[in-house]
A and B are shown apart, each in its own frame.
Chain A
Amino acid sequence: AQSVTQPDIHITVSEGASLELRCNYSYGATPYLFWYVQSPGQGLQLLLKYFSGDTLVQGIKGFEAEFKRSQSSFNLRKPSVHWSDAAEYFCAVVLYTGGFKTIFGAGTRLFVKA
């Protein structure tokens, strides 16, 4: 069965430190890949997306993600975290199974300490 796994339920990093959030998927082909961010009390906002081509994609707010086909992963990174990055982050994959279907991971909550 297709699935999306975000292994870390929550992560705490110090402001200014680097960040990596993990995402793995289970699917036979290469899906479309997305990262969304949800700030408290708000809906989800797209950070970045991968459809094809260059496996390192840049997004908003200084985030980037790298698609690794061999590891079925699409990890999100930021070199220097700001306090305003504290939020919940969702990885999502779009599969084609007769029609497009989106599967979301369970989310990783990021805490930023001063």
Chain B
Amino acid sequence: DADVTQTPRNRITKTGKRIMLECSQTKGHDRMYWYRQDPGLGLRLIYYSFDVKDINKGEISDGYSVSRQAQAKFSLSLESAIPNQTALYFCATALPNNEQFFGPGTRLTVL
């Protein structure tokens, strides 16, 4: 079984809809991250969490929110999706030295 799983793997939605992307991990890591990937821009950090009570904004948090329900679960929400949020979204966990372990990604399309 994969150490970091993401659901759904693909999602098509309409502008204005609320969307939740879920991430679960079995690695036992405290650190979890959400990134988005756009062609030519690499990965950009949306939010990160170092434990259940710790949530931090990344460089592009506007329009997104997160919930750390447990050490193993970290969800990303788009309260009102817009087309420029169409992207590939990755969840990752990390060791204290920031070596990261990525999920398979969720491809989100906002029409």
Residues of chain A having any CB pair with chain B under 8 Å? 9, 32, 34, 36, 41-46, 49, 51, 90, 92, 94, 100, 102, 104-107
Which residues of A have CB within 8 Å of B98? 32, 94, 100, 102
Secondary structure type dominating chain A contacts: strand
Q: How far is the CA of A100 from the CA of B99 in the complex (A)?
A: 11
Closest residue on chain A to residue B97 by CB atoms: A32
Using a Cβ–Cβ cut-off of 8 Å, how many residues does chain B contribute to the interface with A?
A: 19
Q: How far is the CA of A9 from the CA of B101 in the complex (A)?
A: 24
Closest residue on chain B to residue A45 by CB atoms: B102
Contact between B99 and A107, CB atoms less than 8 A apart: no
Q: Would you call B41 an interface residue if the criterion is a C-beta within 8 Å of the partner chain's C-beta atoms?
A: yes
Which residues of A have CB within 8 Å of B102? 36, 43-45
Contact with A44, one of B40, B41, B90, B97 (Cβ below 8 angstroms): B90
